[in-house]
Amino acid sequence: MKKVAVIMGSDSDLPVVEKCIDELKKYDIPTEVHVYSAHRTPDEAISFAKAAEENGFGVIISAAGKAAHLGGVLAANTVLPIVGIPIKASALDGMDALLSTVQMPPGIPVASIAIDGAKNAAIFAAEILAVSDVALRTRLWEERRKSHDAVIEKDVAVSAKFN
Protein backbone atom coordinates (compact mmCIF):
# COMPACT_ATOMS: atom_id res chain seq x y z
CA MET A 1 0.00 0.00 0.00
CA LYS A 2 1.17 3.52 -0.76
CA LYS A 3 1.97 5.76 2.19
CA VAL A 4 0.30 9.04 3.15
CA ALA A 5 2.39 12.02 4.22
CA VAL A 6 0.91 14.45 6.70
CA ILE A 7 2.78 17.75 6.56
CA MET A 8 1.88 20.60 8.90
CA GLY A 9 3.21 24.12 8.71
CA SER A 10 3.72 24.38 12.47
CA ASP A 11 3.54 22.07 15.46
CA SER A 12 0.74 24.33 16.72
CA ASP A 13 -1.40 22.58 14.06
CA LEU A 14 -0.90 19.23 15.81
CA PRO A 15 -4.10 19.25 17.93
CA VAL A 16 -6.13 19.33 14.71
CA VAL A 17 -3.79 17.12 12.69
CA GLU A 18 -3.84 14.34 15.32
CA LYS A 19 -7.43 13.56 14.28
CA CYS A 20 -6.15 12.95 10.75
CA ILE A 21 -3.30 10.74 11.95
CA ASP A 22 -5.65 8.71 14.16
CA GLU A 23 -8.05 8.15 11.26
CA LEU A 24 -5.25 7.01 8.95
CA LYS A 25 -4.11 4.56 11.65
CA LYS A 26 -7.67 3.22 11.90
CA TYR A 27 -7.35 2.11 8.26
CA ASP A 28 -3.79 0.80 8.78
CA ILE A 29 -2.46 3.26 6.22
CA PRO A 30 1.31 3.75 6.52
CA THR A 31 1.78 7.38 7.50
CA GLU A 32 4.72 9.73 7.85
CA VAL A 33 4.32 13.05 9.68
CA HIS A 34 6.49 16.17 9.32
CA VAL A 35 6.55 19.88 10.17
CA TYR A 36 7.66 21.90 7.13
CA SER A 37 6.79 25.53 6.66
CA ALA A 38 6.20 26.99 3.20
CA HIS A 39 7.85 30.19 4.42
CA ARG A 40 10.42 29.14 7.05
CA THR A 41 11.62 25.82 5.61
CA PRO A 42 10.73 26.00 1.91
CA ASP A 43 13.75 23.96 0.78
CA GLU A 44 12.77 21.04 3.01
CA ALA A 45 9.12 21.18 1.90
CA ILE A 46 10.12 21.27 -1.77
CA SER A 47 12.66 18.48 -1.35
CA PHE A 48 10.07 16.29 0.38
CA ALA A 49 7.48 16.87 -2.36
CA LYS A 50 9.95 16.20 -5.17
CA ALA A 51 10.97 12.85 -3.65
CA ALA A 52 7.53 11.79 -2.34
CA GLU A 53 6.47 9.61 -5.27
CA GLU A 54 9.85 7.87 -5.41
CA ASN A 55 9.63 7.33 -1.64
CA GLY A 56 6.36 5.40 -1.88
CA PHE A 57 3.77 8.06 -1.09
CA GLY A 58 0.39 8.10 -2.82
CA VAL A 59 -1.14 11.20 -1.21
CA ILE A 60 0.16 14.21 0.73
CA ILE A 61 -2.04 15.91 3.31
CA SER A 62 -1.07 19.51 3.99
CA ALA A 63 -2.27 21.33 7.11
CA ALA A 64 -1.63 25.04 7.45
CA GLY A 65 -3.20 28.14 8.91
CA LYS A 66 -3.15 31.86 8.15
CA ALA A 67 -1.39 32.41 4.79
CA ALA A 68 -1.67 28.68 4.08
CA HIS A 69 0.77 28.35 1.18
CA LEU A 70 2.10 24.93 2.19
CA GLY A 71 -0.31 22.94 0.01
CA GLY A 72 0.57 25.04 -3.01
CA VAL A 73 4.31 24.71 -2.45
CA LEU A 74 3.95 20.94 -2.20
CA ALA A 75 1.62 20.75 -5.22
CA ALA A 76 4.02 22.79 -7.33
CA ASN A 77 6.67 20.13 -6.81
CA THR A 78 4.79 16.84 -7.29
CA VAL A 79 1.91 15.41 -9.28
CA LEU A 80 0.70 13.39 -6.30
CA PRO A 81 -2.70 14.47 -4.94
CA ILE A 82 -2.44 17.14 -2.25
CA VAL A 83 -5.27 17.36 0.27
CA GLY A 84 -5.32 20.63 2.17
CA ILE A 85 -6.60 21.10 5.70
CA PRO A 86 -7.11 24.82 6.36
CA ILE A 87 -6.37 25.41 10.03
CA LYS A 88 -8.25 27.94 12.15
CA ALA A 89 -5.26 29.92 13.43
CA SER A 90 -6.19 33.59 13.25
CA ALA A 91 -8.88 36.12 14.02
CA LEU A 92 -10.37 35.24 10.61
CA ASP A 93 -11.49 31.82 11.96
CA GLY A 94 -9.64 29.92 9.25
CA MET A 95 -11.17 31.73 6.26
CA ASP A 96 -7.73 33.08 5.34
CA ALA A 97 -6.31 29.54 5.33
CA LEU A 98 -9.31 28.20 3.41
CA LEU A 99 -8.95 30.81 0.67
CA SER A 100 -5.18 30.33 0.50
CA THR A 101 -5.73 26.59 0.07
CA VAL A 102 -8.48 26.65 -2.56
CA GLN A 103 -7.35 29.59 -4.70
CA MET A 104 -4.65 27.76 -6.63
CA PRO A 105 -3.67 28.69 -10.18
CA PRO A 106 -4.70 26.44 -13.08
CA GLY A 107 -2.52 23.35 -13.31
CA ILE A 108 -1.52 23.23 -9.62
CA PRO A 109 -4.57 21.79 -7.81
CA VAL A 110 -4.92 21.34 -4.07
CA ALA A 111 -8.08 19.61 -2.87
CA SER A 112 -9.46 21.38 0.18
CA ILE A 113 -11.30 19.93 3.13
CA ALA A 114 -13.33 22.00 5.60
CA ILE A 115 -11.59 24.27 8.09
CA ASP A 116 -10.06 21.97 10.74
CA GLY A 117 -11.54 18.99 8.84
CA ALA A 118 -8.69 16.62 9.63
CA LYS A 119 -10.77 13.43 9.87
CA ASN A 120 -12.26 14.01 6.40
CA ALA A 121 -8.77 14.69 5.01
CA ALA A 122 -7.71 11.23 6.16
CA ILE A 123 -10.84 9.60 4.76
CA PHE A 124 -10.39 11.40 1.43
CA ALA A 125 -6.76 10.25 1.27
CA ALA A 126 -7.94 6.70 2.00
CA GLU A 127 -10.50 6.97 -0.80
CA ILE A 128 -7.77 8.06 -3.21
CA LEU A 129 -5.64 5.05 -2.24
CA ALA A 130 -8.71 2.77 -2.38
CA VAL A 131 -9.02 3.33 -6.12
CA SER A 132 -6.35 0.64 -6.48
CA ASP A 133 -6.84 -1.22 -3.19
CA VAL A 134 -9.96 -3.39 -2.93
CA ALA A 135 -9.40 -4.27 0.74
CA LEU A 136 -9.18 -0.61 1.72
CA ARG A 137 -12.26 0.21 -0.35
CA THR A 138 -14.15 -2.56 1.50
CA ARG A 139 -13.12 -1.09 4.87
CA LEU A 140 -14.31 2.35 3.79
CA TRP A 141 -17.71 0.90 2.83
CA GLU A 142 -17.90 -0.85 6.22
CA GLU A 143 -17.34 2.47 7.97
CA ARG A 144 -20.04 4.09 5.84
CA ARG A 145 -22.49 1.35 6.83
CA LYS A 146 -21.63 1.84 10.52
CA SER A 147 -22.24 5.57 10.17
CA HIS A 148 -25.56 4.90 8.44
CA ASP A 149 -26.65 2.48 11.15
CA ALA A 150 -25.72 4.94 13.90
CA VAL A 151 -27.93 7.64 12.35
CA ILE A 152 -30.83 5.20 11.95
CA GLU A 153 -30.52 4.25 15.64
CA LYS A 154 -30.66 7.93 16.59
CA ASP A 155 -33.70 8.42 14.36
CA VAL A 156 -35.52 5.53 16.05
CA ALA A 157 -34.71 6.92 19.50
CA VAL A 158 -35.77 10.48 18.68
CA SER A 159 -38.89 9.36 16.81
CA ALA A 160 -39.93 7.13 19.72
CA LYS A 161 -39.60 10.03 22.11
CA PHE A 162 -41.55 12.59 20.10
CA ASN A 163 -43.92 10.67 17.80
Binding residue ranges for substrate: 10, 13, 40
Query: Could you give the CA distance from residue 49 to residue 114 in angstroms, rounded to a whole number?
Result: 23
Contact 95, 87 (CB under 8 A): no
Which amino acids are annotated as binding site, given as ranges?
10, 13, 40
* β-bridge mates for residue 63, sequence order: 8, 85
Distances (CA, A) of 5 to 46, 54, 112: 13, 13, 16
Phi, psi of 7 (to 5 degrees): -115, 125
